[in-house]
Chain A
């Protein structure tokens, strides 16, 4: 092919196949049994454990670690999956450094937490590798629930409802289920088709049908679903993208980071995926880091994250920032884009320094330019079209604690709903809790 890291423009094959393969390998390799035993031995089996409180799905972490320590990782997996049916994915993608592991008493005391995420993966992998699905369905209730969107929130809700004996139909706009597990999570966090395998494993419970290519507001309507089902759960995530509001935003080479990642996740041979020589990512969250790191791993020569506020305000955790830095990504703070320059296609980006006046962020007037043949927008996703008749809170669907929306018989959860962080684990918790409330409503 002859391309290298310094080939100008946006081209594929900047790195040889074996390097790409290595780059996109598991970020945290799986534990061998002995490693798991040693890691589990560090857990103090704390009373009313802080880790358990920090987990949005409230997994009984001390118990599952003790189950690993006593040689029954399958029982550990059951403890995990009881609370969080996507415990396998969460073990890989949860920012544990800001959740369970952040409050581990050994992190607080020694700066070295029990590696809860990796232990969770060890347990769930053991069970899933054996092809076992540990749950069975209750007697049929004769009720039918529509779930819109097959991301973590929808899958979690559907599984719980199926377990409780209801029939579930998931309507998914895309041709493939999984939501951002399949199309968004960084490739090195869940390699080897784990997202797809996990969905197949989850569906073994039975009673769940997925209808792909069915978009709410397109092929299907909310009123239609309400008529044909006893309840509806909306878990449509955030499909809209914020605008950059910088001059030249429409130039070729300016792309949405989430779309780039989705394409990356669905490309089987990454040597065929084009990436810029000079990549600038605008934003400060997990998506920004993922787009930047993966660009670098594909062979981009220079990758910069440009974030408009200070480091402490960054949405990406310190761990994620370090990951970016380790991979050679440059992090710039207090800069905002003002223009993308070029002749039809992007060549440079012009950034302006910012300052926080106390009443808001303003540009200082001082600007500079960076070479940029590819600019990724990672400045937040928004709800797509608001489903008919639904009340919003801020820019999300308004829900109460158990996911009830303003419409009778309609629940919502995950990224599209108000409350909670936009995380896989939060989506799972909200899906599960809504399912319990739907169940109580339908059979109560």
Chain B
């Protein structure tokens, strides 16, 4: 079995699976049980400044999006940071870290945007013996209105400033957690590293209203007839998070910088995908909240099986390995030409490919009186929609045309060399190939 031991910012954990700062890491009881279940590390539920803790609503905190069999696809929450006293959390962190020296404990912090506030809390956090801190610049509800959370995360200058304070008053690794509620994720990441952050983690939750109660005419979750936007997370946000991680990983300004990936990670495969896209490790919240701590066992067995199959001896061998394969649209090879092919033996004759192509694409699938569906190469633009809507795996596949073959749609011979939009004759800004 592959060795999953992962070093992130010099912090060692037995596997790359950490629990994200959220209810699963809210207190000693949870974290101990999480470690017993096998989690490699935790980011403790966000701490606030000394003084009376924040209060949460006393009605429902969550909204949900389901699949047909009530599989949870997306979760939305309006929970705030920890609502327990600071000292209680610090004492618990100290105890747990002492008992689990081989696991990572990162302390998430959110205090007002004033140097004094950070100067006050950081030595106290340092005294716990935890391995590092994570700055919560992401929470999109409740805290932002008070000038914290995503209100900081949306202003790159603030990020740099607070990160610098943290580097000044704290000696261990500083991770900056980013909000996705922003136009260009590269900017806050750059700002964090400008302030000497050791790593960024992303994403926090996405502003959302999951649903509306059509009797009350109010957003859900509904608290006494009213609702508010919350933070979206769970499987549904994974593609958004994956893109943001890849964007930071391939941005020349931040390329190669440590990233802890968060957002919809539910299986070992999600984790592997984020790591291939540049994340040194991953954090999980909704999946643990949906299925319990035990899912980490599947993540561990799955990732190590995949590593064995691929011959990776350690996670560092594939972290970021896919980043060079992420490019901008204009660099994709326009001479790479494929055609859809329907395997008639596998076809169950549902006609979904036909409906999709005939109604909404390129009228490239024919249908006979006895329900035989065939791709017409002279119309197929290789959009892949038929593949995506086909209920049978591998029934429709995309076949690559070889150089020298004729693309029946354009009547042109397929060229062997790579050629992209930047040099395409139709591009008004085309430069001559060098």
List A residues at the B interface (Cβ < 8 Å).
33-34, 41-42, 45, 47, 62-63, 66-67, 70-72, 74-75, 78-79
Contacts and interface: CB of A to CB of B under 8 A. Distances in A.
A72 B268 contact: yes
Nearest to A60: B297
A356 to B, nearest CB: 45
B294 interface: yes
A32 to B, nearest CB: 10
A78 B302 CA distance: 11
Contact of A74 (B267, B297, B305, B393): B305
26 contacts: A34-B392, A34-B393, A41-B69, A41-B71, A42-B69, A45-B291, A45-B294, A45-B295, A47-B292, A62-B294, A63-B294, A63-B297, A63-B298, A66-B298, A67-B298, A67-B302, A70-B268, A71-B269, A71-B302, A72-B268, A72-B298, A72-B305, A72-B306, A75-B298, A75-B305, A78-B301
A290 to B, nearest CB: 36
A74 B305 CA distance: 8
Nearest to B293: A47
B335 to A, nearest CB: 33
Interface of B: 69, 71, 267-269, 291-292, 294-295, 297-298, 301-302, 305-306, 392-393
Contact of B269 (A41, A45, A70): A70
Nearest to A67: B298
Given A66-B291, A70-B268, A75-B298, 8 more contacts: A34-B393, A45-B291, A63-B297, A66-B295, A70-B298, A72-B268, A72-B301, A78-B301
B73 to A, nearest CB: 13
Contacts of B302: 67, 70-72, 75
Name B's interface SS.
helix
B186 to A, nearest CB: 32
The winner among B71, B291, B294, B298 for most chain A CB atoms within 10 A is B298
Contacts of B292: 45, 47
B81 to A, nearest CB: 27
A41 B305 CA distance: 21
Contacts of B294: 45, 62-63
A65 to B, nearest CB: 10
Contacts of B306: 72
A221 B275 CA distance: 61
A79 B301 contact: yes
B291 to A, nearest CB: 5
Contacts of A45: 291-292, 294-295
B301 A67 contact: yes
List of 9 A-B pairs having minimum Cβ-Cβ separation, nearest first = A75-B301, A70-B267, A66-B298, A72-B302, A45-B291, A75-B305, A72-B305, A70-B302, A67-B298
Contacts of B392: 34
Nearest to B71: A41
A273 to B, nearest CB: 37
Contacts of B269: 70-71
A308 B71 CA distance: 48
A388 B298 CA distance: 48
A70 B303 CA distance: 11
A71 B309 CA distance: 13
B21 to A, nearest CB: 23
B187 to A, nearest CB: 35
Contacts of B297: 63
Contacts of A70: 267-269, 298, 302
Contacts of B301: 67, 72, 75, 78-79
Nearest to B266: A70
Contacts of B298: 63, 66-67, 70, 72, 75
B282 to A, nearest CB: 15
Contacts of A42: 69
Nearest to A69: B267
Nearest to A68: B298
Nearest to A73: B305
B169 to A, nearest CB: 42
The winner among A34, A62, A72, A74 for most chain B CB atoms within 10 A is A72
A415 B76 CA distance: 54
B79 to A, nearest CB: 22
A45 B301 CA distance: 16
A353 B292 CA distance: 56
A70 B305 CA distance: 12
A42 B68 CA distance: 11
The winner among B69, B71, B269, B302 for most chain A CB atoms within 10 A is B302
A62 B292 CA distance: 12
Contacts of A34: 392-393
A62 B295 CA distance: 10
B288 to A, nearest CB: 12
Contacts of B393: 33-34
Contacts of A71: 269, 302
Contacts of B305: 72, 74-75
A162 B298 CA distance: 27
B267 to A, nearest CB: 4
A63 B268 CA distance: 13
Contacts of B69: 41-42
Contacts of A41: 69, 71
A72 B302 CA distance: 6
Nearest to B300: A75
Contacts of A72: 268, 298, 301-302, 305-306
